[in-house]
Structure 1
């Protein structure tokens, strides 16, 4: 497995991973329909200079992806999704470490993520702490765990 920059032409494939990974947690059709726009990537998003989209790939198969949006002095992990049949095999961890290291290299002091409630234990295991909650971008009235990872001493 290696991690590389995503290609704009992969937008539809990455959207498919995001939708399958979200549905893995047992969300119903109405919930998934409400999340579709928020989980859809397009070539312009992947190609924009203001964010970094990376994929984990093995033998030509896309295993997962992550999106980092820097907003100095912080950054946001906008998305991190792994194909459902590969969850628990270290791909999410590898993507998270890659994004964390990239954020550090950019001089960012902290990284935040609006986590799905089912993913909160993963982010805690990655060293994040819960600092509050954030409104869902898709479901009115739904609150998501707001996680933060310190990247620099004194942040």
Structure 2
């Protein structure tokens, strides 16, 4: 597997992975449709942020992450559902921590999907509260914190 910076022309594939990954958890079509804009990665998003990375297997993008600074926050971590449960998430996580160290980041937060909370806890994150969803303000999401060691 190979990790590289995302390129603007990866935007459609990243959006497709984000949508399929969210759908993997059994959300309704109405829920997914409401989240579609939030799950869409644009070429401009990738151009504006140097912190989009993809992981490839056999020259196929199978997952990606993005990071936002000020405040330090993991914005995206999505894996093509065909590859969930194969250690890809752990590899992406290790890459995220390595890059965070390189950028001098000592901690960051995650507005986690409830279904992803277990993964983040397993990776060493701690839940520090909750935060309203940007799509559904009445829905609270786990707010996680990670200390980079």
TM > 0.5 fold call: yes
> How far off its partner does 1:140 sit?
2.5
The DSSP-based 3-state class of the residue aligned with 1:141 is coil
Segments of 4+ in structure 1 off by > 4 A? Answer: none
TM-score by length of 2: 0.96
> How far off its partner does 1:81 sit?
0.3
Q: CA RMSD in A?
A: 1.1
Matches within 5 A, 1:104-143: 104-143=101-140
The DSSP-based 3-state class of the residue aligned with 1:3 is strand
Question: Which whole-Å deviations, capped at 9, do the CAs of 1:51-71 have from their partners, x for residues lacking one?
Answer: 400001011111100001122
Gapped regions of structure 1 (runs ≥ 5)? none
User: Matches of 1:98 and 1:113 in 2, distance apart?
Assistant: 16
Matches within 5 A, 1:65-104: 65-71=64-70, 75-104=72-101
Query: Is the 1:70–1:103 Cα contact (8 Å) retained in structure 2?
Result: no
1:58 alignment counterpart: 57
More helix by share: 2
> How far off its partner does 1:109 sit?
1.6
User: Matches of 2:134 and 2:87 in 1, distance apart?
Assistant: 28
Size of the alignment, in residue pairs?
A: 149
2:6 counterpart of 1:9: no
User: Matches of 1:148 and 1:100 in 2, distance apart?
Assistant: 13
Matches within 5 A, 1:13-52: 13-49=13-49, 51-52=50-51
Gapped regions of structure 2 (runs ≥ 5)? none
The DSSP-based 3-state class of the residue aligned with 2:104 is coil
